[in-house]
Homo-oligomer: A and B are copies of this chain.
């Protein structure tokens, strides 16, 4: 059963890979339940405990959500608990109100040096650029400039964005089948330029957080690159270190 020493991979990891492949292939849709552990055990010809351990790891990566007594579900950005899952910005006074996204612009362009590198696409490939404002308690706090590979999101338009009630990622998941799994942020401090200062209603030159994010789908494929400028007058970026 098990392989010889150099490339040993336990059974439950092989099962994990099989389940991930099924997820990636879209065999089960976001928000839906996957088969029970017993069924999967039968399908893969292993014991329930082995399937369990595979699912445990996948759930640990937030790709599946276990619900005792009900089943195991494919994680979705439509889930209210996953809303703004990647946003780490918090009001200084513990006001827990959800932010509101206000689209500003949306246009098409060709990928330049930076965009092509970040999104791992050809130089000059079509991309979509969109700008938006994030408001907390109706006050502007973040300006985002978001770059998406044009190929994946053909029908995306300014109107689509305005009509959508929910997060951007839930839109990209529901309408375009792209599921954002993990992201990496690079944070620096910069001075507000003219247009940013106007959008955020701060003085020109005010120090802002520059948060560059690359977001990945299955197979560590980058599908979004964005830069956000955060006003930290009344908010901070909260990070837990373990």
Contact = CB atoms under 8 A, between A and B. Distances in A.
Interface of A: 61-62, 85-86, 88, 182-191, 205, 207-209, 213, 230, 232, 236-242
Contact of A237 (B85, B86, B187, B208): B187
20 contacts: A61-B242, A85-B241, A86-B241, A88-B239, A182-B240, A183-B240, A184-B241, A186-B238, A186-B239, A187-B209, A188-B232, A188-B237, A189-B189, A189-B190, A189-B209, A189-B232, A205-B205, A207-B207, A207-B208, A209-B209
A2 B34 CA distance: 30
A236 B190 CA distance: 11
A219 to B, nearest CB: 16
A238 B185 contact: yes
Nearest to A182: B242
A132 to B, nearest CB: 19
Number of copies: 2
Given A207-B208, A208-B207, A188 B242 contact: no
Contact of A184 (B189, B191, B232, B239): B239
